[in-house]
Each structure stands twice: as structure tokens, then as C-alpha cells.
Amino acid sequence: MLGPWCSPTGSPAPLSCETGCREGSWILVCRLLVPTQVSLLSMEEDIDTRKINNSFLRDHSYATEADIISTVEFNHTGELLATGDKGGRVVIFQREQESKNQVHRRGEYNVYSTFQSHEPEFDYLKSLEIEEKINKIRWLPQQNAAYFLLSTNDKTVKLWKVSERDKRPEGYNLKDEEGRLRDPATITTLRVPVLRPMDLMVEATPRRVFANAHTYHINSISVNSDYETYMSADDLRINLWNFEITNQSFNIVDIKPANMEELTEVITAAEFHPHHCNTFVYSSSKGTIRLCDMRASALCDRHTKFFEEPEDPSNRSFFSEIISSISDVKFSHSGRYIMTRDYLTVKVWDLNMENRPIETYQVHDYLRSKLCSLYENDCIFDKFECVWNGSDSVIMTGSYNNFFRMFDRNTKRDVTLEASRENSKPRAILKPRKVCVGGKRRKDEISVDSLDFSKKILHTAWHPSENIIAVAATNNLYIFQDKVN
Amino acid sequence: MEFKLEAHRIVSISLGKIYNSRVQRGGIKLHKNLLVSLVLRSARQVYLSDPCPGLYLAGHPGTPAPPQQLGEPAAGPPAGWGEPPPPAARSAWPEPEPQPERPTVPEALRTGDAETAAAVTGTGDALQGGEGVAAEAAWRRVEGQRETAAGGAGGPAGGSDVFPEGPRAARRPCGCPPGDEDTLSAAPRMDCCRTPRPAGDQPPATPPVCPRKRGAAGVGGGPAGCPAPGSTPLKKPRRNLEEQSGGAAAAAAEEEEEMETGNVANLISIFGSSFSGLLRKSPGGGREEAEGEESGPEATEPGQICCDKPVLRDINPWSTAIVAF
């Protein structure tokens, strides 16, 4: 059913999630700009009917801040890919359907829907401006023809319904075709309105708004496996919501100290277990992860499990605490492991072992000696995310200079790739990159000092079942897929 | 010695971030401010524990020009911002030296200094857009705790888990081999941590003459009075702020320099609405006193206040840093 999706020769490729880290195996599918005008790179060597591409291939060397992508998420089938940006917009891409004529167009994503999810707000009571930046998007599993997703900014979570309309009713009795009311006196016959086909229209409507439940900034949302509830986490509290009820939520974690002077850590990320609807984890700024069971008590302040790795005293510095702060936590698809990202490493933990991670991967250890400078330019506060592939065999996270890294847990191999405009030729094969940490620099290597710290890959996503990844680089969205020979 | 300078610089930067967070869109971010306060705490520990008493005595520079909103006239920039960075620090991102046995922080020290020179104009804006809290209210609070904190023991309740680390951090901020506090003499430590510092470093004990010194006051006086080479790379973005702070404010701040446990009301009246969002609860100076004041942060639930406390108790009353912002 899945046609050949990466090889130009057309031979079907086995669907496998096993790859990932072979050199030379990732190719660029498309690069999507998410600005006010969306442009697509043509993937075809020959001229294609999508001629709009050429005219839109401007060099966006500058990006308005509102276009910076702030979250990326595939839906549960991988058919849709949602991005949120700093301007409060959500753009949903849909995977190109396979067609016999253009076999290698499959795998491309095109704009499906765009809508403004959040607007800037001003809290008059606190004299606070509330940013419209979309912090997280989470999809709900599809239960009917419409798609549902949750999007959140710092304070408010919204449930959006994205649906297609390809028919419209015609032949009303009381209204004419333009919608104006007809004079009843002119109606002499009655007819039954019929549905006639129309151009496909995708519309997004906000179905629920979950507001006023968070004093601090929301950093995570997570849909429960029961598909009836979800949680939202801010710096100090986690609330449990029912999708149907917007005017109240249950507080299930509260780490706010009675005396704020005693505050030593904040919640940085939270996620429900993929299968057990009573279990969730949350990470802290101190580098710890707590697993909680909602059956134990209504308020899960006491954890069921506590994951912490003892600090290596030889690495102590002014910035030890900052770099140990966990920026993202993700359950594996199996539910057996959790992965955490702190500033320099990615760690995989077994839920059954609390005293240390089972795997630690260095993302960019060469930055360890640059922490002071990174502190000055605020880069040390960057919150990188991490993702699992569909089979939990490969993990991926971002770095600077538009680099992103993949680690194969089985073969222990890793690769550094770059999402850059220079490599944006269609079907271009990504060349592995290497950072030179000292001594002699080889030809293809980049020295640490040449890294561009303004180009950071904070948000990535991996297709739930295929080797397709989405990488957000500032205002560009790159989609790569693994070319299996 | 180098520790002190580096620590001083880090404190200055941290205070800048905290101050600038006030004007950042979206309100003050609790997480980032907490992290910055932890860095402040570590840096202060280092600063206070570094045995260089001369620094404390060297030229008490006098008036700190207090942090001002960007529109207001300045009393004059503090010392500490008047000197160009040492020549060796000019190059950005120097190649890391192949010294695997060297602790990491000294590397960071050197590259940090170098980096600031290069990145400062960029980071200046970043710092502007950074995060912060009322700096002087902050260091008011810390003033009161300096005695307890200096010993590295206890301090504000709840901070105990960090404070024990503080002295350890003070001893080995650069990852030097752990040594007994008593046995760790100045020489070996300076050895292992001095290397990154260029030879051109000027001793902080002799504050160079600088026309813009007037507004500065140092904690313990010394390093603020002498332009820490590490801190000067930030002078460009800071100068704008300095030039804008008010003379009246400077005079008032000078008063406060004398007072160990400050009178916040004074500051409040001077800065007025700059801090209304942060100190709305008790402008009468209740904040700097009440260690265990709960009504303040609790009642003023808003996110912008909630981060004050952990930050405030760590802010070192170093006027140079405050002046700069």
C-alpha cells in the first residue's frame, strides 16, 4: 500500500524504522517556509505544474520574529504535521497522497490549513503581557472525519477542530444564492436543498478554550491515553483537564513552596504515559524526573518514582545547575523508557531504574568549555527538545548551527546533520557534519568557534511509523526522509 | 583573584539579566530567573570566599547609580565599566587549548572574556531583552543575609541544599581537584585557574583612573572600584543605561550604600513605577526585612512577583552591577 517513497528508481522500499544513522541515507524532501506566504521547493527535476515555487524562492535571509517556529508535531498517523510559531499561528501540513504518476512526490507535505490560534493578550490586573507564542501543540487521535489538536501559549490552552468541507448546500427556500433573505411572498414552490460539491475548504474552529488556570507559564501539555483528559503544566503546577469541561481543572501537582524564597526548582516538562492513563512524569530544573501515579492520591506531590543521576563533582562550575536543567522529557512509544534532554546531553532512563540513566549521549560536549559565553548570550537557556523514532531505536535532538543529531541506540552510532538552505536541493542527500573540537581541523569539519549560535534547532518531530523527520530551523521547516536503497 | 573577577563579572551579567527581564514580553520567566539566581549565588560564594581582602578595601567608589528605566538620566557610569577588555580578550572564541587536565571553568573564563568582547554588542541587546527583577530591592534583601550567607551555611531557608555546595563551588568553581578548605592554598589554586587569564590583567587592587568611576560602588567596594577587565566588555550596552540614570537616584543610592540593610522605601520612591509591578505589595520596605514573609509573594500571586524571592535573596549588593543596569 505504501508506494515507493524515496528511491527514484521506483523499487518499493521496505517500511522500516531501523535505519536512521547510516551515513548518506537522509534526503531532503521539502523545505517549507512558514511565513505569511508559504513557499514550497519543487522536488522535481523537470518542470512541474507547481510553478509557484520559483517565484517564491526568495532568500529569506531575515525572518520576522513572528515566523519563528516554536513547536512541531506529527499527528498519530503521520499524515498531518502541525507547526506553531511565535506569532500565535498554527500551520498544518498534509502529506501528499501517493499517485502513480509521480511516485516520488509521496512524502512531501503541503499546507493544509493555517489559522491564528492565539492572540497577544494583556492581563490588566497584573500588568502583564501574555505572549501569543505557541508553546506546544498536541494532536488528539482521530475519531471521526475531523482532526482535533490542542495548542497552548503561556496561559491558555485551546482545542481546535480542523475539518474539511467539500460540499455546500444549495437551494434554500428562504434565502437566495447570495444569502439574502427572500421575501416570503415571492416563494411559490418549495424545494429540498441539496449538497453540491465545492472546492475543498479546510476550516479550523476553536471548540474549547481552557483559560485562567495557570499563574505561571505553561510549558507542556499532554493528552492522556484515555483520550478524555489531558494535563497542562506550568512552572509550579500541573492541572488535569477534561476535554469537555473548560471552567475547571484539577490540580494534580503543586510544587510551589509556602514561602517563595524557598523555591529551588521548577517543573520544566510533563507527559502522560502512552498506555497507562494513571501515570505521568514531570521533569524539573534540577535535572530530576518524577513519576506519579494518580491512583495514589488526588494531589500527586509525592512521587512514585524519582529519577536522578548523581552529579559528577569534577564537572562542577558556575553553570552546573543550568546545564542540568531538563528541557524536555518524552516517553518511548513502548512506555518502558523515558528520554530527557538537558543542555549538553540526552539521557535514556529505564522506568525500573531510578538511580541513573541507562544511556547518556553527548550532544555537543564541546560547548562545556564555553558555558560562560553561552550564559552571557542567553544560549545556555535554550530549551532543546528530543524525540524518539517510531520503534524507539533512534533518538534525535537539535543543536546549534542548524545541526541536529541522531543516536542509534542499538548500534551506538550517531550522526550530525545540518538543516540549511545550502543543502536545499531537491532530494539532496544530507552529508554528515562534524565539529572539530581542537587541534587540526579537517576540510569538512567546522570548528567550534565558527558555529552560529543564532541558528538553533530546538524543535524536531519524527513520523510515528516512518523515517520521516521534521526539523524546524528558525522560520524554516525541513522535512527529511530516509532513503532506503 | 581571578575567581573574584570572574565571579564579579558573572554577578554583573546575572543582575543585568534579572533587571532586563522586567521589560521582557510575556512577563518575568520564573525558570530562567531561578537559574540566574542560582548562578548568582554560586558566583557570590566564590566572590566572598576568595581570600583577597585587598579588594574589599580598594577605593570605595561611592555612589551606585541605581538601575533606571531606560528613559531616565544617568548619574554616571560606575567604575568597572570604564576599561577596555584586556587585549588578549579581544579575539572571539579562541581555540580551546589542549589542556584536558585543565578545569573547564578557567577555559570558560578566558573564552568568556574574549567572547564578551566580540559578542557584547549582540548580547547587549540580548541582555536588554533578558530577564530580571528589581535589582536594588534584590540586593537590599541580600544585604541582610550576607552575614549568614557568607559563611555558606544556611542562608534563607530552603536554600540549604545549595549553600553547602556554595563553598564547594567557591573552592572549585573551575573544577580544580577538590581540596580541603584549609589546605587549599592560594598558590595552587591560582595556578590552575590563572592560566586562562592574560598577563595583561591589571590588579584590581589599584583602580585605574577612570572619568566615569564616580557612580560606582562596590560590594565590599573593591572590585567595583576597579574596572574588572572581565566586566568591561559589556560597557557599550551598559553605558546607555548608565548615562540615563538620574543623579538624584545616585545620591540616594549613595546613602543606601552606607546602610547595610536597606531602606527600600527610599528606593521605591526614587524609582517609582519602575518597580510597581514587582513591589506592589509593600513599598514600605517590608520586603527586604521579612525573611519569611509570606503574605507578600503569596498575596501577590502574579507570576512577576513569584520569582522575586529566590532571586532577591541571592543578589549580591554590588552597586556596580546595579548601577550598570
HSE-CB at A407 with a 13 A cutoff on CA atoms is: 20
d(CA A340, CA A386): 7
In order of A201, A339, B223, B296, the CA distances from B211 in angstroms are 68, 54, 16, 41
In order of A92, A119, A243, A461, the CA distances from A149 in angstroms are 10, 17, 11, 16
Residue predicted with more confidence, A247 or A60: A247
Residue count (chain A)? 485
Residues whose CB is less than 8 angstroms from the CB of residue A32 and which lie 6 or more positions away in sequence, other chains included: A38, A39, A40, A93, A109, A111, A476, A477, A478, A479
**Does any CB of chain B come closer than 8 Å to the CB of residue A385?**
no
Residue predicted with more confidence, A35 or A272: A272
A446 touches A58 (CB < 8 A): no
Question: Residue A127 — pLDDT band, cuts 50, 70, 90?
Answer: confident
* Angstroms from B257 CA to nearest CA on chain A: 24
In order of A35, A83, A379, A471, the CA distances from A39 in angstroms are 9, 15, 30, 16
pLDDT exceeds 50 at position B310:
no
The lowest-confidence range among A106-115, B28-37, B142-151 is: B142-151
Q: A327 to chain B: nearest residue by CA?
A: B31
Question: How many other CB atoms are found less than 10 A from the CB of residue A228?
Answer: 12
What distance, in Å, lies between the first and last C-alpha atoms of chain A? 18
In order of A120, A312, B111, B147, the CA distances from B42 in angstroms are 37, 17, 19, 16
Amino acid A442: pLDDT: 81
Most confident range (mean pLDDT) of A31-35, A471-475, B297-301, B306-310 is A471-475
pLDDT exceeds 60 at position B4:
yes
B312 touches B303 (CB < 8 A): no
Most confident range (mean pLDDT) of A20-29, A142-151, B181-190 is A142-151
The lowest-confidence range among A150-164, A287-301, A457-471, B262-276 is: B262-276
**Crossing angle of helices B135-150/B30-49, nearest 10°?**
50
d(CA A468, CA A20): 10
Q: Across the interface, which of B35, B105, B122 has its CB nearest the CB of A285?
A: B35
- Tens of pLDDT, residue by residue over B50-64, are 776 545 444 444 444
Task: Please state, for a pLDDT cut of 70, what percent of chain A lies above it.
Answer: 86
DSSP letters along B137-158, please? HHHHHHHHHHHHHHTTS--STT
DSSP letters along B111-142, please? HHHHHHHHHHHHHHHHHHTS----HHHHHHHH
Amino acid A484: pLDDT: 65
- Tens of pLDDT, residue by residue over A7-60, are 233 333 333 334 445 555 888 888 887 644 333 332 333 333 333 333 333 334
Residue predicted with more confidence, A88 or B289: A88
Residue predicted with more confidence, B78 or A106: A106
Cell of residue B112, nine digits: 568568556
d(CA A448, CA B144): 43
d(CA A343, CA A285): 11
The lowest-confidence range among A179-183, A221-225, A331-335 is: A179-183
Instruction: Mutate one of B38, B47, B140, B304 to test the A interface: name it (highest A CB count within 10 A).
Output: B38
A469 touches A463 (CB < 8 A): yes
pLDDT exceeds 60 at position A352:
yes
Task: Give the dihedral of Cα atoms A53, A71, B30, A400; nearest 10 deg.
Answer: -70
Q: Across the interface, which of B38, B46, B109 has its CB nearest the CB of A321?
A: B38
Residue predicted with more confidence, B161 or A286: A286
Please state, rounded to an integer, the average pLDDT across all residues of chain B.
48
Question: Residue A150 — pLDDT band, cuts 50, 70, 90?
Answer: very high
- Tens of pLDDT, residue by residue over B71-115, are 344 343 443 333 444 444 344 344 444 444 444 444 444 444 444
The lowest-confidence range among A82-91, A428-437, B12-21, B223-232 is: B223-232
- Tens of pLDDT, residue by residue over A377-386, are 999 999 999 9
Amino acid A428: pLDDT: 80
Question: Span B27-45, mean pLDDT?
Answer: 90
Amino acid A21: pLDDT: 56
Chain A residues in contact with B169 by the CB 8 A cut-off are 316, 318
d(CA A360, CA B265): 51
d(CA A21, CA A413): 7
Residue predicted with more confidence, B255 or A168: A168
Instruction: Mutate one of B15, B23, B29, B30 to test the A interface: name it (highest A CB count within 10 A).
Output: B30
Amino acid A183: pLDDT: 86
Q: What is the pTM of this model?
A: 0.65
Q: Across the interface, which of B123, B291, B294 has its CB nearest the CB of A258?
A: B294
Amino acid B70: pLDDT: 39
At B298, the amino acid letter reads E
Our CA angle for A398, A233, A282, nearest 5°, is 65
Q: Residue A97 class from Cβ within 10 Å (0-12 exposed, 13-18 middle, 19+ buried)?
A: exposed
Closest by CA position to B11, among listed B303, B240, B257, B323: B323
pLDDT exceeds 90 at position B35:
yes
- Tens of pLDDT, residue by residue over B221-235, are 434 434 444 444 444
d(CA A73, CA A470): 8
The lowest-confidence range among A235-239, A379-383, A455-459, B245-249 is: B245-249
